[in-house]
Structure 1
Amino acid sequence: METSATTDTDYERGYRKEDARSVDVEELAEAEAHLRNTTIQNFTWRNVSVAVRDRVSKETKLILENVEGQASAGELVALMGPSGSGKTTLLNVLARRPTNAENVEGSVLINGSKVSSQNFRDVTAYVEQEDSIIGSLTVRETLHFASRLSSSGSLPAKERIVRINGLLKAFGLTSQSETLIGTPIRKGISGGQKRRVGVASQLITSPKIMFLDEPTSGLDSRASFEVVNYLRGVAKRNKLLVIASIHQPSTSSFNLFDQVLLLSAGKSHYFGPVSGITDHYEREMGIDMPLHSNPAEFLLDLVNIDFDLEQDSATQRLTELQGKWSSSSRCKNLSSVISQIEQRGQGRDLGIEHHEKRPSMPSRTLALLHRAFIKSYRDVIAYGIRLAMYMGLAIMMGTVWLRLDAHDSNIVAFTNAIFFGGAFMSFMAIAYSPSFLEDHATFRKERHNGMYGPLEFMISNFLIGVPYLFLIALIFSAIAYWLINLQPAVENFFVCILWLFLDLLAAEGLVVLVASIIPSFVVTLAIVAFCNGLWMSVMGFMVYPDDLNVFYKYVFHYWDYQKYVFEGLMVNEFADRIYDCAKTGPGEGDCHCQWQSDLAGQCQVDGRQGVLETYSFNPDNFGRNVGIMLAIVVGYRIAALIVLVIKRN
């Protein structure tokens, strides 16, 4: 029986003709040449079960139970089911992605054989539902850097350009190739175009198996069909195996898939060709498929019991449907096919061919540094807004503490300005967290796809920030230092720049560490703000270092980077400066000095003796304190690197 659900729509046929006219076959062949010569023939999974611990009852709960399936090279397989059915969890298990499961069981084989994690990453790619793409890059640049960071990076530039041009043309992105992806401030390409860019950026990395999480989610029917149709063409031409989780696809998009796995409540309800759905449900299940309807919608409605008023009867009905599938001839045949593939694959080497050499670690680091540089000057959130913030702070400080005289009555004002400037420059470094979290999300995606590791990411992230932070320290000092009338000597001005530069490096390192541990903007904001409040409290300004509580002094004070910045700036101001005292009469000694020193008889205060000794600051500790600051800066980065190495999700 043939229904409209299993035939091409007029729209689909028309689109295929349009697609054939717009894509040059020879150019596509060159662009996709890296996908050929694959040794991947079959991909199977058997008895996949995933258990999690229920947060309320604390009992173990199965969210996937004995799920199995198999796919061959060149096929598109859809994992379909209602929300909460376990399709995304299954996709993550098949792709060897991290899950929050307490226990994962079952076998996932390529050509009937087990493969190492490294070999698996070499032949697979994963496109997330909310794909992390750097918004300040253009479409072409996104594909360009994906190519440089993958095995394609070792190829000549001309060949990489051919691939990029072919993918841009095939995905209908040629006219948008120089358009930005889009940031919260600058509008870029549409959501559907962004989804196509995400898929194309993974295709250029030479995968043999591609996993996609909800590739059509949020797209209209035209855009959905566009993405799936191109994937189908690439898969057929190059024996690429595509497995995608989908949710309520249109009829035209659904008919492009070769096989579908229907899940509900973590159990299989059907696995087989899309064209065989009607026959299976009518002959073996006794369920008539309605004419002129979307089969995907019908299946989802059939196995979705979330909105049934009688949950007990609905659950019983679902159990009966699953039981009928388990006893069906199609299910038994599936198990037999998987067993045969496993038997043929026992003891065999998978023999994955590496036709393209992976770029070296320095090459990947340079590519990341290049990409970060482009982002840094295009994305105003990264450093532009921060630079404006620090310039505003400098102008505000310079006009509040405007041209202070070298008088002992202004010593407290000088001290307050030094504290405020150093502490709030550190505090405002939290503005870097949105930019880093975007980079971190991109890193997680690209790391899972085997492009590069934490070391390359951390080195490039640190190096790109150094010149910008130095520029911020220079501009801030150039404005505030002379307006406030701090120690009027050129060498002292540059020492001030040094301490503020180290202050920003350490503060940004703290942001990177916290965001690496918990990649959430709100959490990062709260923790970094708390830490900066703690550093301000124990740095030696609020309470003199000698009077500080023993616990805070020995637990926090000595590794508080703000302490060393405050001490360095205080020494820079007071070590070699003399301040006049207020005159109380006409005589030479008729004066009152608020700060005592040996120069009191001359109506002056020696900043070194009168101020620095009060704070127990030693001017001879300059080199030691700079070394400690450098150790703190490096220490934060190493700690963040260790976190990224340990965390796999």
Structure 2
Amino acid sequence: MAASHHSSVLDVEKHAHTDHTRLSNESVHSFSWNDIAVTVIDRHTKRPLGILSNVRGLVQAGEMLALMGPSGSGKTTLLNVLAHREATIGAAVSGRTYVNGAQSDSKDFRNLSGFVEQEDALVGSLTVQETLSFAARLALPRSVSKSERITSINALLESFGLREQANALIGTPIRRGISGGQKRRVSLASHLITSPKILFLDEPTSGLDSAASYEVMSFVRATARKYNILVIASIHQPSTTTFELFDQLLLLSRGKTAYNGPIAGIQDYFTSIGYEMPTYINPAEYIIQLVNIDFFLNQTEAIDRLNCIHLSWENSQQATTLQARLHDDQQSGAGPTFNHTHLSANPYLIPLTLMHRSFVKSYRDVVAYGIRIAMYGCLAILMGTVWLRLSPTQNNITAFTNAIFFGGAFMSFMAVAYIPAYLEDLSLYTKERLNGLYGPTAFMLANFLIGIPYLFIITLLFSVIAYWLGNFRPDADAFWTWVMWLFLDLLAAESLVVLLSSLIPIFVVALAATAFANGLWMCVNGFMVEPQTLNVFWRYVFHYIDYQAYVFRGMMVNEFGKRNYACDVVGGVCQCMYPSKLQDQCMIEGTVVLERYAFNTENTGKYVGYMLVIILGYRLMGWVVLYARKH
């Protein structure tokens, strides 16, 4: 097994394109950090609680550093600090990071580094090649030609052993795709498209078996060596073969350093401080167990042992050597010589690229819009057959009114089905924004524009079925006015979903919040209780900002503004429910129904304007939420 894996790494070295200058990476020769400390306020004691304490380190070009430690040791926090991300909410961070011996800042650092999340940020309905293509279009500068971009993609497919899977789907819950190890390789390749000088990996082997873990890290090692990439990876108990792929180890426990040096020196070091490593044991497993005191019955004894390990490191020759190397690096370093242009993709084309990616996803992934279209089609059949061929008589006035309410309110309510698809897009956006690819404006614009044609298709499908089955006012202008109101209704409902899901990006909570909001709008939209009799609080605080209220009002005017209804004739005598000018003709003017709700036929244009303001307002608030949530 091991021999076959080594041959695969050699194949990477053999077949990688030596003239692939996009991955040429000689401008960063060292990355170091000094005295990194992170402190938060303990919720119970309200006192400062140290998560990290005076952590130091140095990685050179082409090296891989394993960041290890028990759960709660501070690995993820340190990785975030080194990557210039938020350490944790409310944390106070001190210490400095250096590139080529010069202190780095967040803006420049984002342009030379890449961060691969623990969870793969991939669109399941794209192919492997499309995933890399969209990554390149989002990240590479406008000066890169299409042919150069294709060359970069082909080189990465070859280097990461993905040539045969180039046209395979990543995979969705409904459609099977590539394996877990291949997905991880695609994630890594999509980050390497921009030639990062420093690559951070958050648990790159999480969820993979030992063979897949070795396979993934072998490709990372080969790429790092060939293109002089600095790799820092948090990793949890790797197999022996995977562990040996790393050059350096930074072992943490309780936020302090237990070891920081070459992988090859681990056994000699721990033997020197009184912890001899058994011959037939995984070194990674042994040292994790050594510094993990969570399961000790005698915690006092365990803490004393851990303090001894920390003190031994601080007083060790290896720690002194590391400090000297850090001093030399930061004193003699000439500073960064890299070019900060690799993330300067054309900002005007980014929304188009996002729209293109969303379009491919939407027509391939049945969950995104296919299920919604089928759901609204079934709802239209339900509505059309319940309110089937209503005749324009006074007895059906209430039925027409109920149908109008149902059509608008439940079309709006069923927009909750968009929440899973949006949360998936939001998760991808969050990861890509943290890597500096684009911001909330491009995301919001693309999300809004790509939804318009699909929402119109849904509206038209629903209306063609429900409108004519229900026998609403049989005029072309009335039909298209109905379509317009339902289309605005869906735009507003989906904009509400975007706002609430951005504010609370947890499926169950977003679902509950959206359902509650729609229930509120149903109650105060003017159907349950006429607007003029609504409680003052509900009327002036919520009714006038209720988009369902304007949809209901507009659709009521559309139906009753230009239609008359026949009265009952009992024993040769005409009996009309509503008195009107047409009573002598045994008819009821539809406008008298509108008078009951205090609706008139003169302000529909103004109502459309209100709807557009509400839609824009939801989207703008959603943008503010995303802009404020920078991490």
Scaled to the shorter chain, the TM-score interval is over 0.9
Shift, 1:356, TM fit: 4.6
Match of 2:478 among 476, 486, 492: 492
Shift, 1:154, TM fit: 4.0
- The residue that corresponds to 2:240 in the other structure is 251
- The residue that corresponds to 1:70 in the other structure is 58
**Distance in 1 of aligned mates of 2:337 and 2:617:** 42
Shift, 1:91, TM fit: 0.4
- The residue that corresponds to 1:46 in the other structure is 34
Measured against aligned partners, the alpha-carbon deviations of 1:477-512 in whole angstroms (never above 9, x if no partner) come to 000000000001011000000000000000000000
Q: What does 1:183-222 correspond to in 2, within 5 Å?
A: 183-222=172-211
Letter of the 1:628 partner, please give it: Y
Instruction: Tell me whether 1:126 sits opposite 2:115 in the alignment.
Output: yes
TM-aligned CA distance change 1:275 to 1:24, over 3 Å: closer
- The residue that corresponds to 2:598 in the other structure is 616
**Distance in 1 of aligned mates of 2:150 and 2:244:** 33
Q: What does 1:288-327 correspond to in 2, within 5 Å?
A: 288-327=276-315
Match of 1:644 among 619, 623, 626: 626
After superposing the two structures, state which structure 1 stretch, 114-123 or 268-277, moved more.
114-123
Partners of 2:363 and 2:369 within 8 A in 1: yes
- The residue that corresponds to 2:101 in the other structure is 112
- The residue that corresponds to 2:589 in the other structure is 606
TM-score by length of 2: 0.97
Letter of the 1:401 partner, please give it: W
Letter of the 2:230 partner, please give it: L
Match of 1:181 among 165, 170, 174: 170
Equivalent position SS for 1:28: coil
- The residue that corresponds to 1:87 in the other structure is 75
Shift, 1:26, TM fit: 5.3
After superposing the two structures, state which structure 1 stretch, 619-628 or 357-366, moved more.
357-366
Query: How many residues align structurally?
Result: 630
Shift, 1:471, TM fit: 0.6
Q: What does 1:558-577 correspond to in 2, within 5 Å?
A: 558-577=544-563
Measured against aligned partners, the alpha-carbon deviations of 1:499-533 in whole angstroms (never above 9, x if no partner) come to 00000000000000111111111111011111001
Partners of 2:73 and 2:254 within 8 A in 1: yes
Measured against aligned partners, the alpha-carbon deviations of 1:571-630 in whole angstroms (never above 9, x if no partner) come to 0000010000111222xxx2221223222232211011x211111112111111111111
Equivalent position SS for 1:331: helix
- The residue that corresponds to 2:378 in the other structure is 392
TM-score by length of 1: 0.95
TM-aligned CA distance change 1:47 to 1:18, over 3 Å: closer
Instruction: Tell me whether 1:280 sits opposite 2:269 in the alignment.
Output: yes
Match of 1:28 among 7, 14, 17: 17
Instruction: Tell me whether 1:17 sits opposite 2:2 in the alignment.
Output: no
Structure 2 unaligned runs (5+)?
none
Shift, 1:537, TM fit: 0.6
Instruction: Tell me whether 1:368 sits opposite 2:357 in the alignment.
Output: no
After superposing the two structures, state which structure 1 stretch, 209-218 or 274-283, moved more.
274-283
- The residue that corresponds to 2:580 in the other structure is 597
Structure 1 unaligned runs (5+)?
1-10
**Distance in 2 of aligned mates of 1:525 and 1:358:** 37
Partners of 2:9 and 2:218 within 8 A in 1: no
Letter of the 1:54 partner, please give it: D
Partners of 1:27 and 1:162 within 8 A in 2: no
**Distance in 1 of aligned mates of 2:18 and 2:340:** 20
Shift, 1:117, TM fit: 2.1
**Distance in 1 of aligned mates of 2:42 and 2:340:** 43
Shift, 1:38, TM fit: 3.6
Q: What does 1:403-422 correspond to in 2, within 5 Å?
A: 403-422=389-408
**Distance in 2 of aligned mates of 1:596 and 1:334:** 95
Equivalent position SS for 1:361: coil
Partners of 1:373 and 1:464 within 8 A in 2: yes
**Distance in 2 of aligned mates of 1:305 and 1:102:** 25
Measured against aligned partners, the alpha-carbon deviations of 1:349-386 in whole angstroms (never above 9, x if no partner) come to 53431465722112211111110100010111111111
Partners of 2:498 and 2:622 within 8 A in 1: yes
**Distance in 2 of aligned mates of 1:455 and 1:38:** 34
Instruction: Tell me whether 1:96 sits opposite 2:84 in the alignment.
Output: yes
TM-aligned CA distance change 1:30 to 1:440, over 3 Å: farther
Equivalent position SS for 1:69: strand
After superposing the two structures, state which structure 1 stretch, 396-405 or 610-619, moved more.
610-619
**Distance in 1 of aligned mates of 2:204 and 2:68:** 12
Letter of the 1:158 partner, please give it: S
Equivalent position SS for 2:603: helix
Shift, 1:52, TM fit: 2.1
- The residue that corresponds to 1:468 in the other structure is 454
Measured against aligned partners, the alpha-carbon deviations of 1:300-339 in whole angstroms (never above 9, x if no partner) come to 1111111111111111111111111111111122122212
Shift, 1:271, TM fit: 0.2
TM-aligned CA distance change 1:69 to 1:349, over 3 Å: closer
Letter of the 1:93 partner, please give it: V
Instruction: Tell me whether 1:456 sits opposite 2:446 in the alignment.
Output: no
Partners of 2:13 and 2:222 within 8 A in 1: no
**Distance in 2 of aligned mates of 1:101 and 1:333:** 34
Letter of the 1:342 partner, please give it: Q
**Distance in 2 of aligned mates of 1:287 and 1:349:** 40
Q: What does 1:348-363 correspond to in 2, within 5 Å?
A: 350-354=336-340, 356=342, 358-363=344-349
**Distance in 2 of aligned mates of 1:356 and 1:513:** 32
- The residue that corresponds to 1:240 in the other structure is 229
Measured against aligned partners, the alpha-carbon deviations of 1:212-235 in whole angstroms (never above 9, x if no partner) come to 001011212221111111111111
